[in-house]
Structure 1
């Protein structure tokens, strides 16, 4: 387990003591483990071994030589100096009216952390939405940066596809998906994640839940591919009960790749070769640490991954909203900017809520907004 899950585990332990163990872990947001036909599908997957999902290559979620353990990591996070981890003033933002956007235009709006609103091929796609104030089962852990929560479910138009990459709290947020319930036409997710949605009362017929290397063809000219990532899963104590993934969104006009969470590996080059490159990569960049380097990329690795997949543009994800690692909050943007110099792709760094038009990358000259903040 990495430090983030140590923190969540420690926070959960406090919650258990405060409100009683049984009632706490049976709150609906914890979800339930896969069962029945879904469990049978999981057990048939080549990536499910010895009772849990595995990465393509063996990795350590928490490196044994990191010098940290669960108790040290939790104590550091709860009691240590976190003043550099979060901005001292509200996040800069530019709130786009999503309902007024021309559906014929292919575009993306970053909403903080790994939440993206994507228009592609006449479809509206919402990726890993978290509109809550905390990415945690308890109210005092992983608080959103001031000014980073400018969108709510009410701001969303009807969503053709809700895409969820894995079940961690900062990607699958119970209050958010429940608030979106009436607007969602289809849900696309990796194996096992559908169990949460069924428990939460979503219609099973709108679930499209598949293994890695699977194409989900929602219409003739619109497909979503579940692709591999190098990460882990679990919302409480059971390790890796559900699969994690990235997505390749494919239309005749454009190809967009979302990395999901995960460490650097050979899979990026494989994905790039499989799809012949991408117009845009939404790539993880933030919440990294050498202690969990295998399952979160460093900025220089994000830059290399963008080259590996053949991205024409790179828009960073996994930053700008939650402090889940010990690096200063601006560092991922500073370092990715530095490592993107001379690369073949164009780095795009919009503020939260700004619109990026996929057709014309040269039209975008976003300022280094993180340098304008304390």
Structure 2
């Protein structure tokens, strides 16, 4: 092939790849960056400056040692122990049959949670897809861990989204739940996804950190800070990330969302605690990004800081997004919880945990799989 013909062919190929890539990232699941009145609200936030949302405490470079090195380690490093050798243990609960008058939580793997609080149904970060990514071959769920789908979920009073990462905001799951949701709570900017996906925006409560949302008689949701980042292959940190407190006359439940350790945990405990239950991130950590995810020992300290009476760990059990063994978060948190003023609760995926029921005992189920 002559040089001119070669260059012409390469140009067509590059143009085709460019067009294909543009089409790919313009798929609705990628979302779009906030604009208009939402963009004005973001610019007015005290937590948005220098062109992006900021954490309360400055953090170092997200990945120590360079992102290229970390990516190479993730792709080409050993996969030994990252996933269970057999099927994940689970105990699927019929959510439609759960008594609404009993406060409870069902962990559905990773950070997906279904709660009954004060007679209200709450669904948090539902991910029912088999992959925590826009591609079918990246971040596949552990065998046996994906036991719930949208059909298993009753109509919910509140859908809560902590941030826009693929393992928390799952487009197919959200669209399948569209007609089942009464209210949506999310941090600033995340409402752009729901507007693009043609949700009724009158149902969306999109607020900044330290905002209390009185959703119904006897249920208030507090949007709270976490120490993390955001983005779905778009520009980073244009939408906010958050944790939450759910308060009814009889219960206080804290959900940390994704985020590293900081003084904000103690402040939350002092202003809103103590909590009957703290649901704390514990998994997908790495020393390279220690400031944006909790190490297990930090998860234990965060639970102490917020004044937790009982603790449930999440962000584990379904996806391998880091290089630690799949069962390491459970083992390390169990060791770190010894002597702490809270009770660590370890239900299997799908097993109902009744808040305030001290008679419930959960064993180290992960030991059956090693």
| Residues 100-119 of structure 1: pairs in structure 2 closer than 5 A | 100-119=97-116
Q: What RMSD over aligned residues (CA atoms) do the two structures have, in Å?
A: 1.3
Q: Call closer, same or farther: CA 1:337–1:49 in 2, change over 3 Å.
A: same
Match for residue 334 of structure 1 among 326, 331, 334: 331
Taking structure 1 as reference, are residues 17 and 311 closer, same or farther at Cα in structure 2, changes over 3 Å only?
A: farther
Uncovered stretches (5+) of structure 1, i.e. residues with no partner: 1-15
- The correspondence for 1:195, drawn from 192, 195, 206, is 192
Post-superposition shift, 1:363? 1.4
Gap regions ≥5 residues in structure 2: 1-15
Larger Rg: 2
Q: Kindly indicate whether residue 179 of structure 2 is the aligned counterpart of residue 182 of structure 1.
A: yes
User: Residues 117 and 18 of structure 1: is their aligned pair in 2 closer, same or farther, counting only changes over 3 Å?
Assistant: farther
1:278 corresponds to 2:275: yes
1:366 equivalent in alignment to 2:358: no
**1:237 CA drift (Å):** 3.5
Q: Given the alignment, which residue of 84, 100, 119 partners 2:81?
A: 84
1:13 corresponds in structure 2 to none
Q: What is the CA–CA distance in structure 1 between the aligned matches of 2:61 and 2:54, rounded to whole Å?
A: 11
Is 1:27 the equivalent of 2:20? no
TM-score by length of 1: 0.93
Provide the rounded CA distance (Å) in 2 between the counterparts of 1:297 and 1:248: 18
Residue 302 of structure 1 is matched in structure 2 by 299
**Paired residue secondary structure (1:300):** helix
Between the aligned partners of 1:169 and 1:127, the Cα distance in structure 2 is: 14
Distance 1:283 1:90, change over 3 A: same
Deviation of 1:365 after TM superposition, in Å, equals: 1.4
1:61 touches 1:295 (CA, 8 Å); kept in 2?
A: no
Query: What is the rounded CA distance, in whole Å, between the counterparts of 1:247 and 1:276 in structure 2?
Result: 12
The 8 Å contact of residues 187 and 239 in structure 2, kept in 1 or not, is answered as yes
C-alpha displacement at 1:72, in angstroms? 2.6
1:230-252: CA deviations, max 9, x gaps? 11111114010001000000000
Preserved CA contact (<8 Å) 1:61 1:232: no
SS in structure 2 of the partner of residue 216 of structure 1:
strand
Tell me, in whole angstroms, the C-alpha distance in 2 between the residues paired with 1:222 and 1:74: 42
